[in-house]
A and B are shown apart, each in its own frame.
Chain A
Amino acid sequence: MSKPTDLVQGTLDLLILRTLTHEPMHGWGIAQRIQIVSNQVLQVRQGALYPALHRLEQQGWIRAEWGDSENNRRAKFYSLTKAGQKYLQREKANWERLSSAIGLVLDEARS
């Protein structure tokens, strides 16, 4: 297993929003999900995760509700708002455009 890669600045928001499209999740779950889905490549530090969650909540992209967790403990569950879904789509399109552009440059450099 290679060393976990640090996240590119600004992509954490995108990952969190994408992770929340399926179901409401709590912070720990989000971190685990990102780690598993990325085949252990992306590891989210708590120090970055919680400020990001609070920022997204303050901006109205996600909404928080208290609920019971799997082991019946009170936990804060985050879910995507309607505005957040639109925002995710927009940011996703931006990201794809950016990464394909970077890909083009890298391919061109290789040939």
Chain B
Amino acid sequence: MTRWLAKISLRMRSLFHRRTADGELDTELRFHLERQIAANVSAGMSQAEARRAAMREFGGVEQLKEECRDMRDTNYIHDFLHDLRFGLRMLRKSPGFTAVAILTLALGIGANTAIFGVIDSLLLRPLPVENPSQLTVLAFRQGNGPLLTQFSIADFRDLCSQTAGSFSDMMGFQLGFDGLSLEGKADRALTAYVSGNFFSMLDLKAHLGRLILPSEGETPGADPVIVLSYSYWKAHLGSDQRIIGKKILVNGRPNTVVGVAPQGFYGLYPAPGVEAYLPLAMVSSDEPGWPSDVMVNRILQNLYVVGRLRPGATLQSAGAALNVVARRLSTQYPESNKGMTVSVYSERFARPDPGTAGTLMKVAALFLTLVAMVLLLACANIANLLLVRATGREREMAVRAALGAGRNRLVRQMLTESILLALLGGLAGLLLGLWGGRAIASIDLHQAVEVHLYSGFDWRIFAYSFAAALLTGVLVGMVPALRVSRAHIGAALHESGRSIAAGKNRFRSGLVVLQVAGSLMLLVIAGLFARSLVAVQHSNLGFDPQNVVELTMDPTEVGLNETQGLAFYNSVLARINALPGVQSAALTSTVPMGNYGSNDYVKVSDYQNPAGQGLPLVFYGVISARFFETMHIPILRGRSFTEGDVSGSPYVAIVSQAFANRFWPKQNPIGKHFAKVSGATNPLYEVVGVAKDARFSGLTGPIGPFFYLPLAQNYALGTLQTLQIRSAAAPDAVIREAQGVVRSLAPDLPLFSIQTMEEGLDTLNGFLLFQLGAGFAAALGLLGLILAMVGVYGVISYSTSQRTHEIGIRVALGAQQSEILRMILRQGFLIVAMGLIVGSVAAFAFARVISNFLVGVSPADPATYLIVTIVLGLVALLACYIPARRAIRVDPTVALRYE
């Protein structure tokens, strides 16, 4: 006990009374020396002899003192504070260097912070709910089928009620688009129909009013309430505090606003974010667009299921409990549930859903690698700058070493300086990164849905930036620190300032080779992504998106019934088709790469469904007569729809090639029959035509089966139809005229997603991810290019400035300017060429690893490599040329007098 008190008081003393302690040390050692001299004298030496002998025996007094001071545990604090002060002084002394270094680091760390911020928001951050780590996501397979993430409502209820041992609660929700209209202002929003316990299970508190109650959503149609998301309420309703109690029409039916969800809660995933919540049971009964048996029909699978694990329950035990229920369901309902196995995932590792989480993590890892390379390029620049400074400080270090500073101490001082620099750069980078993150968040993606790529600052972002800065500091400081501390004291003290040996330049040139190589890699990756984007945009989509504009609407929202709606559509089409310049116009319920589309299970005649597999799920479009003409999709066999395919005439359908080949291979599909299963009535459709395949979703892989139904026979209330107009006229003019036509027929009808069809393909399901990927990669490539060029410029201009003397002699001896120029350019060319070769090899190796993300372009694409190499080579030579120009203008008399 007393020992600890003594220790603490000693440390306090050495911390706060350092001078006293040092004085005492001095006295103590001097006392020893005097005793030794006295002893020597009494042994018979003369006074001077005795002193010399004692001193010799003693060795270096200052070193010994430093060793004694090191025994105090608090010494490192003193050293650190001292180094810190000294470091700050050094940085202040050369503001130019400091500014360039901090700016470079800020770019590198800022880019990392911004990219990490996006990944953090999308993948790493726990949901803003109570105990998010307990949340799990369910998925299932039937037989060897694909992993499905949407359950039927009936299956959800069974799974929920029979696994209470493992799950303290389980909720379900389904996502879709609905027309929302408040006081005549209509809008379309992504809605979630949630089981009543959705909010109570997440333990969320309403921002305003209340959330949906566990008791709501049991009885079909009984609870016409709606909860708005914070961001929808803010953006579309101007944060109206008196919104509670007002009625919002959802697809024309009144629902009472009961509350606003908390800020920052976007549903279970931020892209796309949910804009409004309704009770699950509101989807059923007489809601338009929903089959009447949605609550009990096990084939209708559209519910995402999320469970909260009980404390102590594991994913394994929960999975086992779920599969007991799944086995029971598959024997009890073989028609819908045969071979069902349920799997359960931790929510954080199943974003956006268990099936695609792996891919998203790979994309995240890819971009973190790319942006880490940018930081590495920045590090190389700083290391280069520090090396130059270190060379100039060799004498200073030698003097320090002579005065008793140990090697570790010198390394520590150099590292303190570089880490200080890195942390300052890191701070600037953090601010830059936060700004960058906010800039990314504010990019208008022109999406019909909310996409929250960035959810603001949190400690993870701070920790990441801090770690990056610290690592940078150690990395860039290590090389010069070791180099200086190794320097020979005597040599450094004797040599003049002009002591920079060729070896050091070789190391610096090596760094630049790496920079050029790294920059080439980044640019090649960016180039390959850009080529992928071009490839998918120009791949054969099966339809022609050029010169087409789109307007989306639902006449149900202004109260039109089926007859009125059809009449309205017919008049719109007739008048627009009559407009000058319009080649054709048509309506469709499913647009390619759109955010919504219709799909259903089909029963196909003359086709034997494989045993143990559920019915095939097929996407389809409900279209008007001139759709194929408008989209430039050729009819291969049979006929297109005509004005004669109306209600009352035989039910007809047109199938895609892939549909015909899958269900009726080597047979004539014309005249065959099939039916959907989930409609209110499910008539048997007769195939009257086969259309060429067109991509409605997914940009790669084989095109799936698809079928088309005529709008006049399949009009559904509450369904959005997109009007597509092909016209040679300017898109703006066509849109204006079309809006005029619609307004003259239905003045209050809201129109959504007014855009050209090419814009409409830039969605999360379409080109958007490719565009984001290519954009990010290009930004990083550009940053890398700038950093590498700064490196090349720095090294060449430094080495030419070191050679001023030599160049002066050469000029004096009659060397031509062009010879000098060639000499310097050759040096630069050598470095750049080596960088290009190393970079090409590295880029190819890296591109091979990420070839899964490339579409329509080989990882060894010669054009990309060639263009990038040429561009990089030219820019690099330009960076060499500027200092070379300066060198040849050297006046030999000045150069020779120099130094």
Q: Tell me the A residues contacting B by CB distance below 8 Å.
A: 26-28, 45-47, 50-51, 54-55, 57-60, 63, 66, 69, 71, 73-76, 81-83
Contact = CB atoms under 8 A, between A and B. Distances in A.
A58 B24 CA distance: 15
A58 B72 contact: yes
A83 B36 contact: no
A30 B57 CA distance: 17
B32 A27 contact: yes
Nearest to B30: A73
11 contacts: A28-B32, A50-B29, A50-B67, A51-B68, A54-B71, A60-B4, A60-B6, A73-B34, A74-B27, A75-B31, A76-B27
Contacts of B444: none
Interface string B1-19: 0111011001100000000
A73 B57 CA distance: 22
Contacts of B35: 28
A33 to B, nearest CB: 13
B665 to A, nearest CB: 86
Given A51-B70, A58-B71, 10 more contacts: A26-B28, A27-B31, A28-B35, A46-B29, A58-B72, A59-B7, A60-B6, A60-B10, A63-B6, A82-B3
Interface in B9-60: 10-11, 24, 27-29, 31-32, 34-36, 38, 57-59
Given A27-B32, A46-B32, A81 B71 contact: no
B24 A60 contact: no
A39 B29 CA distance: 25
B203 interface: no
Contacts of A45: 57
B88 interface: no
Contact of B31 (A63, A69, A82): A69
Contact of B58 (A46, A57, A69, A83): A46
Contacts of A59: 7
A60 B6 CA distance: 6
Contacts of B6: 60, 63, 81
Interface residues of B, number: 27
Nearest to B7: A60
B64 interface: yes
Contacts of A66: 24
A46 B4 contact: no
B806 interface: no
Contacts of B73: 58
Query: Which of the listed residues B3, B24, B58, B68 has the most CB atoms from chain A within 10 Å of its own CB?
Result: B3
Given A50-B64, A51-B71, A57 B27 contact: no
List 4 tightest A-B contacts by C-beta distance, closest first: A60-B3, A54-B71, A83-B3, A28-B35
Interface of B: 2-4, 6-7, 10-11, 24, 27-29, 31-32, 34-36, 38, 57-59, 64, 67-68, 70-73
B725 to A, nearest CB: 86
A107 B6 CA distance: 45
A26 B27 CA distance: 12
A76 B7 contact: no
Contacts of B31: 26-28, 69, 73-76
Nearest to B31: A75
Given A27-B32, A28-B31, A28-B35, A54 B68 contact: yes
A46 B67 CA distance: 11
B536 to A, nearest CB: 69
A48 to B, nearest CB: 9
Contact of B28 (A50, A60, A63, A82): A50
Contacts of A57: 10
Nearest to A87: B3
Nearest to B59: A47
A71 B42 CA distance: 14
Contacts of A47: 58-59, 64, 67
Most buried by B among A47, A58, A74, A83: A58
A65 B31 CA distance: 14
Contacts of B68: 50-51, 54
A97 to B, nearest CB: 25
A47 B24 CA distance: 17
B818 to A, nearest CB: 63
B693 to A, nearest CB: 82
A60 B2 CA distance: 9
A50 B64 CA distance: 8
A21 B67 CA distance: 26
A54 B4 CA distance: 16
Contacts of B11: 58
A57 B9 CA distance: 12
Contacts of A28: 31-32, 35-36
A58 B10 contact: yes
A69 B35 CA distance: 11
Most buried by A among B31, B59, B70, B72: B31
Contacts of B36: 28
A58 B67 CA distance: 13
A73 B443 CA distance: 79
B2 A82 contact: yes
Contact of A46 (B59, B70, B71): B59
Contacts of A83: 2-3
Contacts of A58: 7, 10-11, 71-73
Contacts of A60: 3-4, 6-7, 10
A73 B73 CA distance: 29
B57 A46 contact: yes
Contacts of A69: 31
